[in-house]
Amino acid sequence: MSLASPALTDSPRTRKGRIPGPPAALLAICAVVDLIVLVPIAITVYDALKGGVPHAAHLLSTRGSWTLIGNTVGVALIATPLCGILGTVEAWLIERTAIPLKAVWSVLLVAPLTMPLFVTSYTWAHLGPLFQGEVGAIGIIVVSYSPLVFLLVSAALRGLDPALEEVALSMGWSPARTFLTVVLPQLWPALLGSMLLVGLDALVEFDAFVALSFQTVSTTIYAQYQTSFSSSGAAVLSTSTILFCIILLAGERLFRGNRNYTRLAQGAQRPAILRFNARTLPIRLGLLIIFAGMGIVLPLATLIYWFTSGSTLAFNLASASLGSLPAATLTSLLLGMGTAAFTVLLAFPVALLITRHPTFLANVMERTVFLAFALPDLVAAIAISSGASAAAPWLYETVPLLIYAYLILYLPLAVVAIRTSLGQIEPRLEEVARTLGSTPLGVIRRIVLPLSRPGLGAAAVLVFAFVLGDLSTTQVLSPPGMTTLGTEFWANSSTVAFAAAAPFALVLALLAGIAAILLMRWFGKRR
Amino acid sequence: MSELRCTGLTKKFGTREVLSSLDLTVPNESIVAIVGPSGSGKTTLLRSILGLVAIDEGTIHLGDRELSNGHSRLVPPHRRTIGYVPQEGALFPHLTVFENVGFGLPRGERKDVTHIDRVLSIVGLNANYRNRKPHELSGGEQRRVALARALAPSPSCVVLDEPFTGLDASLRQTTRTAVAAALRTSHATAVFVTHDQQEAFSLGDYIGILRNGSICQFGPPEDVYREPADPDTAQFLGETNILSGTVTRNHAMTALGKLPVLGSHDDGPAHILIRPEQLHLHGSARPDDSDMQVHGRILSITFFGAHSLISLAVNGIYPKQIIAQHQGHVPWDEGEQVFISLTGRAACYPSPKPAPADPETDDGRTSNDDS
């Protein structure tokens, strides 16, 4: 029924007398957000071209660069579709089949996303050579980012009218055929949107690849930065990732075509029929055990093993690091919460623009936000710090600057989470509120904000978890002497005594667990 | 409350003209039912009145106030003071019934228990409903709360979009009665759209027939039913027999017999409209009847409860079937011969060409959902 709803035929693209075109104020706010995001990108591109285009081209054309770019793009190209498949399978298992302890499984499946990647990858690296190099790099991306696909696709699955599937099944189609021909096309927007995020992330992943000794553009940038402190070579390399990012953004848009993810179907008054088939239960449970095992049980078990692995030396080291634990925990919490608050504040107008006024301009403005996602964390950090030291020395190595860097890096995650929940609000509710005398701003305050609260919460939790899981940005930009859980983990894990790093990792894992539970609670809510 | 006046409304979506020079006047304190088949522009008309859609040409006035004209939307939706009862109610899911009804009131009055309770009682709900959430209400209760919410700020006019769609038969009846009473009590100028003719007849003071984006007939329900503007409208409004015949001195001659004509018509060939309830069936010819007696063979009987519809094959008209309505028990079986007599008056339309399609296939029932 929602396919034929007047709200869809009344799309601003076909409307001649386009009235609810984007209000100027909203456009202005989003333009400011875009500018905020574009600053480090502009600095990077400027740095790259500073030495002249031929110089930049020369840097890019060396054999080494091509290997690096090949590695980077290769991992993204292989890992992204795998993430899409894995996340969709997970979503289907949880939303459409009978599985005992669903809530627990959901949290376990989401947890790898909130778990800091450097912790997961570090534990993997110590499992043996199989987990290192290319295979490990692809594996870690798949395990850690498929929850993103799982979250968004299961939200879409819940919004889907189960009657469509029931009709297909009643015609004698197998569940697999039904899923491929009836369900999948409708999940496409959510699936593509989440795969876009995964692809962008994979392009610029740094911490995990360092731990797994896999060389990509980002890790090389770090090496160059450490040896020469010349940002020019780094800038040239990262310009290449920005280019790939633009290709991905445009490609996703092209692939998606006219299918709109901004207004999800409003349906599913009743839960979808759960096809219970006891014979396949072991297979389904087995899949879930493997998924959850790789992403969360394995790292956790390793951590606990480190922590408790007998020797008094290890125990002493672990207790020694307990001293700095409270301060680091508090800093991480405050940074995470502060960033989450600011990011949600800036992401909301962008999500509002793209869901309520999906014009061409709105699309461009929304996509601009994603550009910064393609900037390797480190490059963004370097750009910001060099920009700050040149233009605003008083900001250099301060907390506000650090939060600014986090903000532009994680804004896209918040936009996606909020966009999804805004899309689930029935347009008619906002129209009724208007006819009852609410101004456009009043509608946002009294209808949109209360109804999108779960999405706002989910966005905040996602950003919080990513801030906790960040290492490189923090290392470049944090004020001297400031320690976070991440930096302490890193400092201690690079020594021989892993036990000293374990307490920090455990606190991180605990926070990640809480984040995963909150995320499932708010984003995975069944209507 | 005030008069609502639309003149020359035109609205295009892309190249498709959804409203074309539509004129409509809703008199002060009256209820107008806009009825039309799916895709006739009903919802667009309502949304234009509400200011949720910008019209391309024409004007909308409420009393002396100009709300819209073709060049701009003069008054935004929130300043129009037009209440809106959307399809399915669309209650705010995060608010209680009390908060829903109070939503449109000025800030200071949103907690005014007396006022909100009074509005709730107008729609037939008591104070016990105050703290319920929308999902705890039945479909009919949701519609009533939606109406209460629209009426609470004392709007100048109320528009209702398919207010009873999706309710089951008994709930539909009680909700309809409650809504009608509430609209009367609050002296509302109201426009509602529906694709259900019965609903339009029973609730509207006036009926407007919307077809191809403009109002093709407007008037009191009975007039519109008895004398539709054209055969198509007649068929849309209910089962109809349309026969070819001739008009002579204000009498219509058809194969079924002779009937006085409604209004005055020039003599000549015509399409003649006879409603099924104007046909009476008898087991035998009545000797005292001086009128021409026609007989037909019963093809099928469709049972509707209080009445049945009987389709007949009549010499001179067959293969076209004649539909007659019979109250109560039908004493005949399919295949039997019955005699037919006519009562009332017939609406006639000059016929340049032969009568339109078979009433069996072109009856007035539209089962489609709207919009």
Inter-chain touch A6–B47, beta carbons under 8 Å: yes
Chain B nearest-CA distance from A178, in A, is 27
Q: Cβ of B82 and A435 within 8 Å? A: yes
Residue A110 to residues A150, A422, A517, Cα–Cα distance (Å): 8, 21, 8
> What confidence score (pLDDT) does residue A123 get?
82
- B349: nearest Cα among B223, B227, B225: B227
Which residues of chain A make contact with B156, given a CB cutoff of 8 A?
none
From B101, which residue of chain A is nearest by alpha-carbon distance? A436
- Angle A58-A59-A62 (CA atoms, 0-180°, nearest 5)? 85
In this model, does residue A21 exceed pLDDT 80?
no
Mean pLDDT of A492-503: 71
pLDDT at residue B61 in the model = 92
pLDDT, residue A270, reads: 54
| Whole-number pLDDT of residue B358 | 47
- The pair of structure tokens assigned to A396 is 């250099």
Is the confidence at residue A318, as pLDDT, over 60?
A: yes
Tell me which of A423 and B148 has the higher pLDDT: B148
pLDDT at residue A55 in the model: 74
> Using CA atoms, how far apart are residues A164 and A157, in angstroms rounded to an integer?
12
- pLDDT surpassing 90 at residue B207: yes
Quote the CA–CA distance of A479 and A464 in Å, as a whole number: 19
Q: Is the CB of A426 less than 8 angstroms away from the CB of B52?
A: no
CA-nearest residue to A442 within chain B is: B78
Residues of A in contact with B92 (CB under 8 A): 429, 432-433, 447
DSSP letter string over B301-354? EEE-SSEEEEEEEETTTTTSEEEEEEES-----TT-EEEEEE-S-BEEEE-SS-
pLDDT, tens only, A459-476: 999 999 999 988 888 888
Is B78 close to A439, i.e. CB distance below 8 A? yes
Confidence bin at A429 (pLDDT 50/70/90): very high
**ipTM over cut 0.85:** no
Q: Do A435 and B369 touch (CB under 8 A)?
A: no
Average pLDDT over residues B221-249: 88
**Tens digit of each residue's pLDDT (9 = 90 or more) over A266-287:** 443 455 555 656 777 888 888 8
Q: Count A/B contacts: CB-CB distance under 8 Å.
A: 83
DSSP annotation of A99 reads -
A184, with CB counted inside 10 A (0-12, 13-18, 19+), is middle
Region at B263 (left for phi over 0; alpha for psi -120 to 50; beta for the rest): left
Dihedral angle sign, alpha carbons of residues A184, A188, A192, A194: negative
Sheet holding B251-254, edge to edge: B257-260, B251-254, B241-248, B268-274, B347-350
Nearest to B153 among A428, A434, A436 (CB): A436
Share of chain A above pLDDT 90, in %: 19
Q: Residue B32 has what pLDDT?
A: 94
- Whole-number percent of chain A with pLDDT over 70: 85
What interhelical angle do A360-371 and A399-423 show, nearest 10? 140
Q: Which residues, other chains included, contact A255 with Cβ-Cβ below 8 Å and sequence gap of 6+?
A: A192
Q: Tell me the H-state helices in A51-183.
A: 53-61, 63-96, 102-114, 117-125, 133-158, 162-170, 175-178
Q: Which residue has the tokens 């001649």?
A: A16
Suggest the residue from A424, A436, A527 to mutate for an interface test with chain B (most B CBs closer than 10 A): A436
Quote the pLDDT of residue A229.
Answer: 53
The mean pLDDT value for B51-67 works out to 89
Structure tokens at B213: 């984006």
Task: Output the pLDDT for position A444.
Answer: 93
Write the DSSP assignment of A170-220 as a string of letters: HTT--HHHHIIIIIHHHHHHHHHHHHHHHHHHHHH--HHHHHTT---HHHH
B174-186 confidence digits (pLDDT tens): 888 888 888 888 8
Residue A230 is predicted with a pLDDT of 59
The contacts of residue B336 (CB under 8 Å, 6+ apart) are: B297, B298
Partner residue facing A16 (CB), from B12, B78, B103: B12
Find the mean pLDDT for residues A319-339: 88
Q: Which ranges of B20-168 would DSSP assign to H, the alpha helix?
A: 42-50, 97-102, 113-122, 139-151
Is A446 in Cβ contact with B76 (below 8 Å)? no
Q: What is the DSSP letter of B72?
A: B
- pLDDT, average across residues A430-454: 92
For A217-221, the CB contacts below 8 A with 24+ separation are A217/A68, A217/A69, A217/A71, A217/A72, A217/A241, A217/A376, A218/A72, A218/A376, A218/A377, A218/A378, A218/A379, A220/A64, A220/A68, A221/A376, A221/A378, A221/A379
Average pLDDT, chain B: 85
Beta bridge partners of B297: B313, B337
Residue A523 has pLDDT above 60, yes or no: yes
Answer whether A428 sits within 8 Å of B81, measured CB to CB: no
Cβ pair A429:B50 closer than 8 A: no
CA distance A12 to chain B (A): 10
A435/B84 CB distance under 8 A: yes
Of all residues in chain B, the one with the smallest CA distance to A449 is B94
Residue with tokens 């409307």, as numbered in its chain: A15
Residues forming a β-bridge with B303: B308
What integer is the mean pLDDT of B271-294?
77
Residue at A176: amino acid letter: A
pLDDT band at A29 (very low <50, low <70, confident <90, very high): very high
With 0-12 / 13-18 / 19 or more C-beta atoms within 10 angstroms meaning exposed / middle / buried, residue A228 is exposed
Higher pLDDT, A7 or A277: A277
Q: Which pLDDT tens digit goes with each residue over A67-98?
A: 888 888 888 889 999 999 999 999 988 888 88
Q: How far is CA A425 from the centre of its chain?
A: 23
Split at pLDDT 50, 70, 90, the class of B285 is low
| Contacting B residues, span 147-186, partner chain A, CB-CB under 8 Å | 149-150, 153
Q: Which residues of B touch A18 (CB under 8 A)?
A: 54
User: pLDDT tens, B78-117?
Assistant: 988 899 999 888 899 999 999 999 999 998 888 889 999 9
Per the CB < 8 Å rule, is B103 touching A6? no
Torsion A120-A122-A127-A128 (CA) sign: positive
More confident residue, A17 or A290: A290
Residues A362-407 pLDDT 10s: 888 988 888 877 777 777 887 888 888 888 888 888 899 999 999 9
Each residue's pLDDT tens digit, A124-174: 887 777 777 788 888 888 989 999 999 889 888 887 777 777 888 888 888
pLDDT over 70 (residue B4): yes
Of B292, B278, B210, B276, whose CA–CA distance to B36 is shortest? B210
Confidence band (pLDDT; 50, 70, 90) for B352?
low
User: Across the interface, do B44 and A6 touch by the CB < 8 Å criterion?
Assistant: yes
Task: Tell me what pLDDT residue B364 has.
Answer: 39
- Please list every residue in chain A whose beta carbon sits closer than 8 Å to the beta carbon of residue B51: 434-435
Asked if pLDDT for residue B304 goes beyond 80, the answer is yes
For the segment B279-299, the average pLDDT, to the nearest whole number, is 75
Q: Is B103 on the interface with A (CB under 8 A)?
A: yes
Longest alpha-carbon distance in chain A: 77
Q: What is the pLDDT of residue A15?
A: 37
Percent of chain B whose predicted confidence (pLDDT) is above 70: 91
Q: At what angle do helices A399-423 and A325-356 cross, to 10 degrees?
A: 40
Asked if residue A238 lies in contact with residue A200, where contact means CB atoms within 8 angstroms, the answer is no
CA distance A436 to chain B (A): 4
Mutate to test the interface with B, among A432, A447, A449, A451 (most CBs of B within 10 A): A432
Q: Which residues of chain A have a Cβ shorter than 8 Å from any chain B Cβ? A: 1, 4-6, 9-10, 14-19, 426, 428-429, 431-439, 442, 446-447, 450-451
CA nearest to A443, candidates A359, A356, A350 = A356
Mean pLDDT, range B19-41, rounded to an integer: 90
Say whether pLDDT at A206 is over 50. yes
Q: What contacts A20, CB < 8 A, 6 or more positions away? A: A12, A356, A357
A6–B369: do the CB atoms touch at under 8 Å? no
Residues A104 and B236: their CA atoms lie apart, in Å, by 57
- Assign B25 a pLDDT band (cuts: 50, 70, 90): very high
pLDDT digits (tens, 9 = 90+) for B151-179: 999 898 999 998 888 777 788 888 888 88
Tell me how far apart the alpha carbons of residues A318 and B342 are, in angstroms, rounded to a whole number: 103
Chain A residues with CB-CB distance to B50 below 8 A: 431, 435
Radius of gyration over alpha carbons of chain A, in Å? 23
Spatial distance between the Cα atoms of A321 and B177, rounded to a whole number of angstroms: 75
Tell me the average pLDDT of chain A. Answer: 81
